[in-house]
Amino acid sequence: MEHDRIIVIGASAGGLDAIKKLVERLPPDFRTPIFIVWHMAPGMRGIVPDILNKLNAIYAAHALDNEVIKPNRIYIAPPDHHLLLEEGIIRLSRGPKENHFRPAVDPLFRSAAYNYGNRVIGIVLSGRLDDGTAGLWRIKHSGGIAIVQDPDDAEVPSMPANAAREVAVDYCIPVKDMAAVLTQLSTTAVPLNREHMKDEKTKIEIGIAAGDSAYDRGSLKIGELSPYTCPECQGVLSKITDGDLTRYRCHTGHAYSVDTLLASITEKIEGSLYNAMAAIEESMMLLNHIGDHLSEVNHPQLAALYFKKAKDAELRADLLRDTVMGHEQLSNDRLLEELYKLKNAAKE
């Protein structure tokens, strides 16, 4: 069954309240199907449908694999599953995580754009970092409509702010105004565009999200090899370019925006430093233990050498500890905040 439009929504931290405000303002006879990805932990109980069904007569439920899309429905990505769209059909998968999430926003947006072209309305709500930006770019590039929550209206502004910066959005508005806009857009006829760009790169990435072998699908062919490795599996990352937007995908399928990759790498540094510090402290303890034993068996000169090496190790461990304490996890938001503080300081 075909519908004039579909609506895809992505949200993360602070996004549930935004979703609630949007849904409760929609008319109960709103026919356009809505598909929602909200970042959640894999073991989290899926509470979103129950919450939304108390706010509106539009029926909300977790999406089912191979479910036929119906009007006047809200479909929620279940925990630990990507939500993908085919023409008139829903698909679920446990394909590789994107931006550390499953479900992730980009796979939903990407599959919607590929199969529905200019009939897609994409919305990015409150959340950290920038999942959804690449997918919203694809929706816009395929002739669809791009909407972001006004960052000043968002509990966590990063996701909508990043999307607004990278995509020529059609609307940047508070959540309270979205229902009216969606109602108007949904009642406006859209000429079906069967000629929208169904490019091979997007097809490959949809297949990867669906659980196909990323390597067999051609993950190494959709970008140029980079010097970076995947924070999750240490696979080689390929650099993928969409217009002015850059992102990365490894040969096993994990995908990252630039901002998520930066946050992941700088977070990984802290763990590596602690591992190195633990190894040095372990060697220090062993050197002292051996030194004690040598002292007991009357080898004072050799024992003194072991104690000296233990002291050297302790000094190196102290240097690493100072490095760990001074290390910071970086992201675009943190750097923008630092730049803002520098500009304010320069004005004073």
Supply the residues annotated as catalytic: 12, 39, 131
Tokens for 227, please give them.
């010097």
Residues 90, 94, 95: CA angle, nearest 5 degrees: 100
C-alpha span between 310 and 123 (Å, rounded): 58
| Range list of H helices, the chain | 15-25, 48-53, 105-116, 133-141, 158-166, 178-186, 200-209, 214-217, 258-296, 300-326, 332-347
C-alpha span between 156 and 128 (Å, rounded): 6
Nearest one of 242, 210, 203 to 223, comparing CA atoms: 242
C-alpha span between 173 and 149 (Å, rounded): 5
- The answer to whether the CB of 10 falls within 8 A of the CB of 159 is yes
Nearest one of 72, 60, 66, 112 to 90, comparing CA atoms: 66
Which residues are within 8 A (CB) of 32 and not within 5 positions of it... i.e. 6 or more apart? 3, 4, 5, 6, 7, 71, 121, 182, 186
Residue 308, amino acid = K
How, if at all, do strands 82-86 and 120-124 pair? unpaired
Question: Could you tell me how far CA 32 lies from the centroid of its own chain?
Answer: 26
